[in-house]
Amino acid sequence: MTAKDCGQHGDCCEKRKRYQRIFGCILATIIVILLIILVVWLALRPTKPRFYLQDAVVLQFNYTGPPSNLLSTVIQVTLSSRNPNDRVGIYYDRLDVYAAYKYQQISVASALPPMYQGHNDIDVWSPYLYGPDVPVAPYLCDPLTQDESSGFLLLHVKIDGRIRWKVGSWTSGHYHLFVSCPAFLTFQNGRSGSGATVKFQQMSSCSVEV
């Protein structure tokens, strides 16, 4: 090997070491930044918002029964949400509310306006939920007929949405929000129908998944 070859080999080794140092510095910087974000996140770990069903007014609940098996509903619900965090705000970018009976959606989703909820803030919504001539799944026909005859009915008001957390000037990515609120209803005179008006006024706590 000539002296020229040795010199070229030494230059290559020096460049390789320089690149390794640069890469090591970049990697160390990224690790430090991620650790800072992790520490801040753990210190300010957001608590899920709390939802409550305050009341539900059933203006129409009419089930035709076999063979058509169509259900028409008009329900007004009042929902409230509280942000329990002292340092974390919540962006509600999408909130779709609908009524469900035994896991089947029985109303069209009603969209609530996007909003920001500050620390410890409480917000209230009162949307109408409409379900015009919704086909009922065959396996629900018998339970629905029995509940309608007895005058007792358990519905669930559900919210499907997307939220973001805000800590200072930093805003997180989107998280999926799912809320389920039970509403136990008793119909007047033990029967439902197109003219039925039932008011549920016992505030119930909702399950929240984020």
CA separation (Å) from 192 to 13, 29, 62, 79, 196?
85, 66, 7, 24, 6
Instruction: Return phi, psi of residue 201, to 5°.
Output: -125, 15
- Per the listing, tokens 């803030």 go with 121
Question: Residue 35's pLDDT is what?
Answer: 82
The pLDDT of 52-56, averaged and rounded, is: 92
- Per the listing, tokens 């007792």 go with 152
Decide: 147 and 153 in contact? Cβ < 8 Å: yes
pLDDT tens figures, 115-139: 999 999 999 999 999 999 999 888 8
Confidence of residue 189 (pLDDT cuts 50, 70, 90): low
pLDDT tens figures, 141-172: 888 888 877 778 889 999 999 999 998 888 88
